[in-house]
């Protein structure tokens, strides 16, 4: 099994607390990401939340859904997440890293590591390319929405 890995980062021109709060409000992700139709919180204990994400239908009308768990560590500026219901993935792990950027703002970095099951409809190489492109799109959208909301709040 060959693992896929992607890393994407973007600088968001907003205060750290604002970026942290908006991007860690999982229930509000459908208003932050364009790909999610719904986010349902299943359990929340301390800094760990288990939730179901539901995507908008794909080009074939298929609605993908899965359960993930993420643990936020505000002090270190990291969030570690993993799929609990893996679907077509053998595994899927994501680390979100937040750090003050030189010149202002917050750099948000996503590191994703995963592998596809042998019976999945696509292979790990295809999914790596797909996640790379989609992550760039979603991060740009998140930057725009977080910055807009941060400006409106001041």
pLDDT digits (tens, 9 = 90+) for 93-107: 999 999 999 999 999
Q: Report the percentage of the chain scoring pLDDT > 70.
A: 99
pTM over 0.85: yes
CA distances (Å), origin 125, targets 74, 76, 94, 115, 122:
33, 32, 17, 9, 8
Q: Are 116 and 90 in contact (CB under 8 A)?
A: yes
- At residue 127, does pLDDT exceed 70? yes
- Could you tell me the domains of the chain? 4-25+70-153 (3.30.530.20)
What pLDDT is stored for residue 90 in this prediction? 95
Average pLDDT over the chain, rounded to an integer:
96
Q: Is the pLDDT of residue 1 over 90?
A: no
pLDDT digits (tens, 9 = 90+) for 61-97: 989 999 999 999 999 999 999 999 999 999 999 999 9
Is the pLDDT at 54 greater than 70? The verdict is yes
Q: Tell me what the mean pLDDT of segment 39-51 comes to.
A: 98
Radius of gyration of the chain (CA): 16
CA distance 27 to 21: 12
């Amino acid at each position: 099994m060959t693992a896929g890995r992607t890393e994407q980062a973007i600088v968001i021109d907003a205060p750290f607390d604002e970026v942290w709060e908006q991007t860690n409000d999982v229930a509000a992700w459908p208003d932050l990401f364009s790909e999610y139709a719904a986010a349902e919180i299943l359990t929340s204990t301390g800094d760990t939340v288990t939730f179901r994400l539901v995507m908008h239908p794909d080009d074939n009308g298929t609605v993908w859904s899965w359960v993930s768990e993420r643990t936020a560590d505000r002090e270190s500026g990291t969030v570690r997440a993993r799929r609990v219901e893996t679907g077509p993935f053998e595994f899927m792990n994501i680390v979100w890293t937040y750090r003050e950027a030189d010149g202002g703002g917050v750099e948000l970095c996503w590191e994703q590591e995963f592998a596809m099951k042998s019976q999945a409809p696509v292979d790990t190489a295809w999914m790596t390319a797909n996640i790379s492109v989609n992550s760039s799109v979603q991060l740009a959208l998140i930057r725009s929405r977080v910055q807009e909301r941060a400006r409106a709040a001041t």
